[in-house]
Amino acid sequence: MIGTATAARVEIPVDEVEVRAYTIPTDAPEADGTLAWDATTIVVVHARGGGESGLGYTYADVSTAKLIASKLAGVVRGRDATAPQSAWSAMVEQTRNLGRPGITSMAIAAVDTALWDLKARALGLPLCRLLGMARDRVAVYGSGGFTAYSPQRLAAQLAGWVQDGIPRVKMKVGSAPDEDPERVRLAREAIGPEARLFVDANGAYSRKQALELAGRFAQDARVSWFEEPVSSDDLEGLRLLRDQAPAGVEIAAGEYGYDAPYFKRMLDAGAVDVLQADVTRCGGITELLRVDALCRAHNLPLSLHCGPSIHLHPATALANFVHLEYFHDHVRIEHMLFDGVVDPVAGALEPDLERPGNGLELKRGEAERYAA
User: Does residue 10 belong to any structural domain of this protein?
Assistant: no
331 and 235 inside one domain: yes
Q: Domain range holding 135?
A: 129-359
Write the CB contacts of 111 (distance below 8 Å, at least 6 apart in sequence).
17, 45, 47, 56, 68, 72, 73, 76, 87, 91, 284
Q: Under a CB-based contact definition with an 8 Å cutoff, are residues 290 and 311 in contact?
A: no
Which pLDDT tens digits describe the chain residue by residue (372 residues)? 333 333 456 789 999 999 999 999 999 999 999 999 999 999 999 999 999 999 999 999 999 999 999 999 999 999 999 999 999 999 999 999 999 999 999 999 999 999 999 999 999 999 999 999 999 999 999 999 999 999 999 999 999 999 999 999 999 999 999 999 999 999 999 999 999 999 999 999 999 999 999 999 999 999 999 999 999 999 999 999 999 999 999 999 999 999 999 999 999 999 999 999 999 999 999 999 999 999 999 999 999 999 999 999 999 999 999 999 999 999 999 999 999 999 999 999 999 999 999 999 999 999 999 999
State whether the Cα torsion 183-164-137-308 is positive or negative. Answer: negative
314 and 214 inside one domain: yes
How many CA atoms within 13 Å lie on the side-chain side of 202? 19
71 and 173 inside one domain: no
Nearest to 248 by CA among 229, 226, 230, 277: 226
150 and 93 inside one domain: no
Residue where a domain stops, chosen among 97, 124, 151: 124
103 and 166 inside one domain: no
115 and 139 inside one domain: no
Residue where a domain stops, chosen among 62, 97, 124: 124
82 and 134 inside one domain: no
- DSSP 8-state symbol, 164: T
149 and 108 inside one domain: no
| Residue 114's CATH number | 3.30.390.10
β-pair partners for 227: 200, 252
Strand 361-362 to 36-49 pairing: unpaired
Q: Crossing angle of helices 180-191/151-163, nearest 10°?
A: 30
133 and 215 inside one domain: yes
Q: Under a CB-based contact definition with an 8 Å cutoff, are residues 47 and 77 in contact?
A: no
Q: Under a CB-based contact definition with an 8 Å cutoff, are residues 79 and 111 in contact?
A: no
Residue where a domain stops, chosen among 124, 148, 179: 124
